[in-house]
Chain A
Amino acid sequence: MGRYIARRLLLTIPVLLGSTFLIFAMVYALPGDPIAALAGDRPLAPGVVAELKDRYNLNDPLLVQYGKYLGALLQGDLGTDFAGRSVSETVAERLPVTVKLALVAVGFEALIGLIAGVLAGIRKDSFFDNLVLVTTIAVVSVPVFVLGFVAQITLALRLNLFPISGIGEGLYSYLLPGFVLGSLSLAVVARLTRTSLVENLRNDYVRTARAKGLPPRTVLAKHALRNSLIPVVTFLGADLGALLSGAIVTEGIFNIPGLGRTVFQAVQSGEGAVVVGVVTLFIFFYIVFNLVIDIAYAALDPRIRYE
């Protein structure tokens, strides 16, 4: 197990190197001159343009630019954005916000999604099962910004149950945006759990367990559900990785200063250092969460072992 983890972690190094280069090349290939975009209607003095281009190495060829970036990165310097703000400071400020939002969202998904899925699964074709089916279809088909505005206007503005926007009220401010953000995946989790459970409940080993005279609760919890959770855990893990890479729309509606918005604005203004720094972090999250999921399989399914 230890060696397996070590091998997987070592593999992240070439992945990160390759991906930073790819992202760097993509930002480099973005059309338009970022310094000209910075200036707007009134052009900057030519000497100022040259100074800015020199500061951000924009006159160098791609490989030289990347080399300089990587050199600084190895010394722990993530660079600065065009306004001179340090990228590591920006990340340090926003990462906790994004993590909180993602955890709240995944929390909702896991809690409500699993309960709804299990209840629907054990009472297949019941009224509740159909209710879950209809609700999840409805939620999946509504775009997140509609859901966001509806929730904001009804629950926050009209009923005054939650803060409208911002993160001024601590974890409480994350509840509504977290719920909106997690709602789509919540529906997926519920349906995934239900399907998987229904399938497993029909399996031979479950019939055997029942035939042995085990109480239905034990059959469900220890035999059927544990197995059914494998696809759900895979999904939740991948989703957590995705949510950590920010949620531009939800962050916008609820004014959550997270990483999604940062990277969105950085792409728009062609800020290579910001995009590469933040996206590399996202990739790192994905790698780590995939590893965690793989390890979780072993815990859920005794047939899976890692050497």
Chain B
Amino acid sequence: MQIHKKKMRLSAVLLVLALGATACGGNGTDSDDSSAEGPSGGTFSYTITNPENPLVPGNTSESEGTQVIQALFTGLVTYDVETSKLEMEGVAESVESEDSTLWTVKLKEGWTFHDGTPVDAESFVNAWNYTALSTNAQGGSSFFSNIEGYDDLQAETDDNDVVTKPPSAEEMSGLEVVDPQTFTVKLTAPFTQFPLTLGYNPFYPLPKAFFADPEAFGKKPIGNGPFQAEEEFRQDVGFTMTRFDDYAGDKAKADAVDIKVIPDVNTAYIEVQAGNLDILDTVPPEVIATAPAEFGDRFIERSSSTFTYMGFPTYDPRYDDKKVRQAFSMAIDRAAITKAIFNDTRDPAFSAISPVVDGSRPDACEYCKYDPAAAKALLAETDFDTSQPIDLWFNAGAGHDAWVTAVGNQLRENLGVTYVLKGDLTFSQYLKEVGRQKKFTGPFRLGWGMDYPSPQNYLEPLYTESALPPGSNTAFYVNPAFDAKVQEGNEAEDNDDAIELYQEAEDILLEDMPIMPMFFGKLQSVHSEKVSNVAFDAFGRADLANVTVNQ
């Protein structure tokens, strides 16, 4: 998932002053658990910034559009809001396979789209084929790459991104509609975690109305979720969603949600203070110290799936010894940085798999423990030249300056090596023109947010050989033993075995240390007195359907 939160952060030192900065601790979670059954009625407002794309699930991967898509659509499976565990509260009755390759999906009866048409096997298969086909230019296309026949739906391209051969098919051979309530999915390789991936946006169904007019659909989607679009979505303004009374799952509690687009997070925060806005999923860094005291239990904090790490250019002779990389990692006091730089709005990372997914171990990373003496000793064993400065890379304008500087200072202090900050490239230059061209000359910052709650999602797309650029394996890490362990995990008999195998893969990764884990994200949110039962999942999405309006 793409972490692209574009809230403009205008400097607001002043705001802090005006609010009377009384720094207080306090860690509130929403304690009101009286989740009454049935609709509570009422209308509340929720804010997002502008979605980057039209509201089509297969083309929405960024956080803002996802918030709306989540309320308008329900996928085959769902995840528990608190624990991210797989739940069968979605459209699928069952997702089963004998060999983890050929999967049979059975749908529940009675699900309809907002226009009354049934949610059937075709609405999934057609949607998946549409999203996968490269000429439709949908961002979610690559999520179908493990389905048989996907390659036939992809145009062949040369190095300059020019099409050399158009797609040879429009439907994946691995998808087959058996009857209106059943379809089968044939994967190219066994993958036990497949059902777990199905709750992500690109796997949502699309009604016939979409294919008739995709453009109109993108403004006013017709989904199958607990809320329906009442009007066209307007950029920089928003729209109203109302409860879908024929929803086959647990119906939404409130009558309607006003989605308000407020790109400036400080403005949105003031609107919540004034009671004009009910839920805000971000708290401006300038007021993070005062918000818990001001909002009490209306301030919510939870861990999110985002993961920040620093990769090493393993192709650079200077960093090709894993002892060098281990020494760097041990020389960094992550907890000190999260406290001093982030005000504890992030957690230090001691594993490569986020704590929000099953199978994460709090101390998986041996070399992430802060031990400056051991770090220095380990570095001395290598032929690393400490007289040369190290380059620390990050992308510009995204607030990374402070913590990367702190990392540099710790390396200087603990390893006796000076550093140079390389932080003036935009994200696209940084990734495409430097990262993918093997031009990083030192540790570089990267981030990740999960697509589905599986440890596999924190390993395979990031460090395997198949993920080499243009994939996300920018460290150019290749270790067949690691790849094999991940694959074994993918083919494991059951989830417990899979988790064990993924953990073994993680151990290999953290021993080789092509990347050093830095932080895991947290989400802070505030809401008005008008609403209760506000909860966020690990993806950072508000559970809008369960929000109740206090009458």
Our verdict on whether A and B bind, yes or no, reads yes
Give the B-binding residues of A (Cβ under 8 A): 31-55, 59, 83-85, 90, 93-94, 145-146, 149-150, 152-154, 156-157, 160, 163-166, 249, 252-255, 257, 261-262, 265
From A42, A52, A152, A160, give the contact of B451 (CB < 8 A): A42
B11 contact set on A, CB distance < 8 A: 145
Q: A51-B137, A85-B235, A252-B264 are in contact. Are A59 and B426 (CB under 8 A)?
A: no
A146 contact set on B, CB distance < 8 A: 14
B163 contact set on A, CB distance < 8 A: 47, 50-51, 54
**Cα A44 to Cα B154 with chains together (Å):** 12
Q: Can you report 25 A-B residue pairs in the complex whose CB atoms are below 8 A from each other?
A: A32-B433, A33-B432, A33-B433, A36-B431, A38-B52, A38-B139, A41-B447, A41-B448, A42-B142, A43-B470, A48-B141, A50-B163, A84-B53, A85-B235, A146-B14, A149-B266, A153-B18, A153-B270, A156-B274, A157-B274, A164-B270, A249-B10, A253-B264, A255-B261, A261-B263
Assuming A48-B137, A160-B274, what are 4 further A-B pairs, CB within 8 angstroms? A34-B428, A41-B448, A53-B162, A149-B15
From B136, B155, B433, give the contact of A50 (CB < 8 A): B155
**Cα A127 to Cα B155 with chains together (Å):** 77
Closest Cβ neighbor of B451 among chain A residues: A42
Minimal beta-carbon separation of A81 from chain B (angstroms) = 10
Contact across chains for B160 and A261 when beta carbons are under 8 A apart:
no
B446 contact set on A, CB distance < 8 A: 41
**Cα A90 to Cα B264 with chains together (Å):** 20
Contact across chains for B271 and A41 when beta carbons are under 8 A apart:
no
Minimal beta-carbon separation of B59 from chain A (angstroms) = 9
Give the A-binding residues of B (Cβ under 8 A): 1-4, 6, 8, 10-12, 14-15, 18-19, 50, 52-54, 61-62, 134-139, 141-142, 145, 153-157, 160-163, 167, 215, 218, 234-237, 260-264, 266-267, 270-271, 273-274, 276, 425-429, 431-433, 446-449, 451, 461, 469-472
Contact across chains for A32 and B61 when beta carbons are under 8 A apart:
no
Q: A253-B267, A257-B235 are in contact. Are A39 and B157 (CB under 8 A)?
A: no
From B3, B6, B142, give the contact of A44 (CB < 8 A): B142
Q: A44-B141, A45-B134, A261-B236 are in contact. Are A31 and B161 (CB under 8 A)?
A: no
B161 contact set on A, CB distance < 8 A: 35, 46, 49-50, 53, 59
Contact across chains for B267 and A31 when beta carbons are under 8 A apart:
no
B160 contact set on A, CB distance < 8 A: 59
Minimal beta-carbon separation of B456 from chain A (angstroms) = 14
B10 contact set on A, CB distance < 8 A: 145, 249, 252-253
A49 contact set on B, CB distance < 8 A: 157, 161
Q: A47-B156, A47-B157 are in contact. Are A40 and B266 (CB under 8 A)?
A: no
Contact across chains for B461 and A157 when beta carbons are under 8 A apart:
no
Closest Cβ neighbor of A256 among chain B residues: B236
**Cα A244 to Cα B56 with chains together (Å):** 33
B449 contact set on A, CB distance < 8 A: 41
From B155, B236, B267, give the contact of A47 (CB < 8 A): B155
Give the residue among B62, B138, B156, B157 with the most A Cβ atoms within 10 A. B157
A50 contact set on B, CB distance < 8 A: 134, 155, 157, 161-163
A150 contact set on B, CB distance < 8 A: 14, 18
Minimal beta-carbon separation of A144 from chain B (angstroms) = 10
Q: A164-B271, A254-B267 are in contact. Are A48 and B12 (CB under 8 A)?
A: no
**Cα A163 to Cα B215 with chains together (Å):** 34
Contact across chains for B432 and A32 when beta carbons are under 8 A apart:
yes
B54 contact set on A, CB distance < 8 A: 83-85
A36 contact set on B, CB distance < 8 A: 428, 431-432
A164 contact set on B, CB distance < 8 A: 267, 270-271, 274, 276
**Cα A94 to Cα B236 with chains together (Å):** 9
Minimal beta-carbon separation of B202 from chain A (angstroms) = 11
From B267, B425, B431, B448, give the contact of A252 (CB < 8 A): B267
B1 contact set on A, CB distance < 8 A: 41-42
From A34, A40, A145, give the contact of B2 (CB < 8 A): A40
**Cα A165 to Cα B270 with chains together (Å):** 9
Contact across chains for B142 and A153 when beta carbons are under 8 A apart:
no
A46 contact set on B, CB distance < 8 A: 134, 154, 157, 161, 470
Contact across chains for B472 and A255 when beta carbons are under 8 A apart:
no
Contact across chains for B61 and A45 when beta carbons are under 8 A apart:
no
**Cα A31 to Cα B261 with chains together (Å):** 29
Closest Cβ neighbor of B142 among chain A residues: A45
For chain A, what secondary structure do more than half of its interface residues adopt (helix, strand, loop), or is it mixed? helix
Minimal beta-carbon separation of A219 from chain B (angstroms) = 46
B237 contact set on A, CB distance < 8 A: 257
Contact across chains for A83 and B461 when beta carbons are under 8 A apart:
no
Closest Cβ neighbor of B264 among chain A residues: A252
Give the residue among B2, B167, B267 with the most A Cβ atoms within 10 A. B267
Give the residue among A32, A39, A42 with the most B Cβ atoms within 10 A. A42
Contact across chains for A42 and B262 when beta carbons are under 8 A apart:
no
**Cα A52 to Cα B163 with chains together (Å):** 11
B136 contact set on A, CB distance < 8 A: 51
Closest Cβ neighbor of B431 among chain A residues: A36
Contact across chains for B472 and A42 when beta carbons are under 8 A apart:
yes
From A31, A48, A145, A262, give the contact of B134 (CB < 8 A): A48
Minimal beta-carbon separation of A207 from chain B (angstroms) = 50
Across the A-B interface, the 10 shortest Cβ-Cβ residue pairs: A47-B134, A40-B2, A257-B236, A37-B428, A32-B428, A47-B154, A47-B155, A36-B428, A50-B157, A36-B432
Give the residue among B15, B18, B446, B471 with the most A Cβ atoms within 10 A. B18
Minimal beta-carbon separation of B21 from chain A (angstroms) = 13
Minimal beta-carbon separation of B53 from chain A (angstroms) = 5
A265 contact set on B, CB distance < 8 A: 6, 50
**Cα A55 to Cα B163 with chains together (Å):** 12
Contact across chains for B215 and A84 when beta carbons are under 8 A apart:
yes
Minimal beta-carbon separation of B453 from chain A (angstroms) = 16
**Cα A46 to Cα B8 with chains together (Å):** 31
**Cα A40 to Cα B52 with chains together (Å):** 12
A52 contact set on B, CB distance < 8 A: 137
Contact across chains for A252 and B263 when beta carbons are under 8 A apart:
yes
A152 contact set on B, CB distance < 8 A: 267, 270
B139 contact set on A, CB distance < 8 A: 38-39, 44, 48
From A37, A45, A254, A255, give the contact of B145 (CB < 8 A): A45
B137 contact set on A, CB distance < 8 A: 48, 51-52, 55
B8 contact set on A, CB distance < 8 A: 252
Contact across chains for B61 and A40 when beta carbons are under 8 A apart:
yes
Minimal beta-carbon separation of A271 from chain B (angstroms) = 11
**Cα A149 to Cα B10 with chains together (Å):** 10
Contact across chains for B427 and A37 when beta carbons are under 8 A apart:
yes
**Cα A55 to Cα B161 with chains together (Å):** 12
**Cα A143 to Cα B215 with chains together (Å):** 42
**Cα A149 to Cα B472 with chains together (Å):** 40
Minimal beta-carbon separation of A40 from chain B (angstroms) = 3
Contact across chains for A41 and B3 when beta carbons are under 8 A apart:
yes
Give the residue among B10, B135, B161, B469 with the most A Cβ atoms within 10 A. B161
A85 contact set on B, CB distance < 8 A: 54, 235
Contact across chains for A51 and B135 when beta carbons are under 8 A apart:
yes
From B62, B260, B469, give the contact of A40 (CB < 8 A): B62
Minimal beta-carbon separation of A157 from chain B (angstroms) = 5
**Cα A55 to Cα B155 with chains together (Å):** 14
Closest Cβ neighbor of B427 among chain A residues: A37
Contact across chains for A40 and B157 when beta carbons are under 8 A apart:
no
Minimal beta-carbon separation of B15 from chain A (angstroms) = 6
Contact across chains for A40 and B471 when beta carbons are under 8 A apart:
no
**Cα A1 to Cα B271 with chains together (Å):** 52
From A94, A149, A165, give the contact of B14 (CB < 8 A): A149
